[in-house]
Amino acid sequence: MPVSQPVFLDYLGFEGDGVGDTRIHGGKDKAVCAYCIDHFPYWSDKLQREILPASFGENLSLTGMPEREINIGDIFEIGSAQIEVSQPRQPCHKLNKVFNDQTMACAVKKTGFSGYYFRVLRPGLLEAGALMKRIHAGQFSIEKANALLRKGGANIQHMQELISLPALSEDWREMFQKRLSKHADL
């Protein structure tokens, strides 16, 4: 839901913004869920319905920041806060319920229009329309990480590169370390 007043962003997320299932959402590595509204026309056309900010469960709707241009480890200043990209978002079954379409989560995965998570490096105040300034660029795009996930992690070099990123969330590091271990056992 859009906000009309500044909102405080702390290490675990926005003040007053709840997390539905803390086992798989939220936490320090996933304090902010962002989605690029540039994807809305695609979804609106595909689903034949209006798509509004927060439709994908995001608590930060962005323009001009698609997955191919955002990297794990990118650091941004927004308002007085500083945030860092930690991992792609993995759409879950809840999107199927929101859109009343049992194929929605899979469709989001296939398009790569997943969105992504930020961790908070410096808490601060944000307001609607605030500009984001990239102050550090990572090297491994969200799009590339999504492709690695969809293809089952068959590229050993890319998995090793991803795991080596200090900014990568612990969940994703563990997931790809397990995949690497399976390949080592073969």
**Domain residue limits at 124:** 7-141
Residue 53 lies in a domain: yes
Q: What are the distances in angstroms from CA 40 to CA 15, 50, 69, 143?
A: 26, 8, 17, 17
**Do residues 67 and 141 make contact, with C-beta atoms less than 8 angstroms apart?**
yes
Whole-angstrom Cα distance, residue 118 to residue 186? 35
Using CB atoms within 10 A of its CB, is residue 19 exposed (0-12), middle (13-18) or buried (19+)? middle
Residue 103 pLDDT level (bands cut at 50, 70, 90): very high
Task: Give the chain's domain count.
Answer: 1
pLDDT tens per residue, range 115-172: 999 999 999 999 988 999 999 999 999 999 999 988 765 688 999 999 999 999 999 9
pLDDT over 90 (residue 4): no
Q: What is the dihedral of CA 81, 114, 36, 145, to 10 degrees?
A: 70
In a domain, 66, yes or no: yes
CATH number at residue 28: 2.40.33.20
Percent of the chain with pLDDT over 90: 77
Residue 81, in any domain of the structure: yes
Residue 184 lies in a domain: no
